[in-house]
A = this chain, B = another copy of it.
Amino acid sequence: MKRIKRATLEAHGWRLGTAADFLDLTPEEAAFVGTKLALSQSVRDRRIAQGLSQAALAKRLTSSQSRVAKMEAADPTVSVDLLLRALFALGAKPSDVASAIRKGRSLAA
């Protein structure tokens, strides 16, 4: 898997509302990163909606607080697999995941 070092910075820029420049992301990469962002946002939203701390969610996942933080920050070292597991652990159904992805903002240049 190609490492996209800028992903996190860009993700933050986007999440903070600043103008992100995804200049050299191919359409495929943009779609992938956008999907990841949508999922990580969904994890945070669901966790908060359920009044859980990152540590509490981590426990359900047999993971750690730091990894949950990275998930929600769309850290490049977090896999989509882990994001999906987190969502399902938060009670999401496949249709919820589908909605989250569909709602994800496009990162087209």
Contacts and interface: CB of A to CB of B under 8 A. Distances in A.
A70 interface: no
A19 B101 CA distance: 31
Interface residues of A, number: 29
Taken together, the copies of this chain in the complex come to: 2
Interface string A8-44: 0000000000000000000110011011001000000
Given A79-B79, A101-B101, A32 B85 contact: yes
A98 B88 contact: no
B1 A81 contact: yes
Contacts of A99: 98
A102 interface: yes
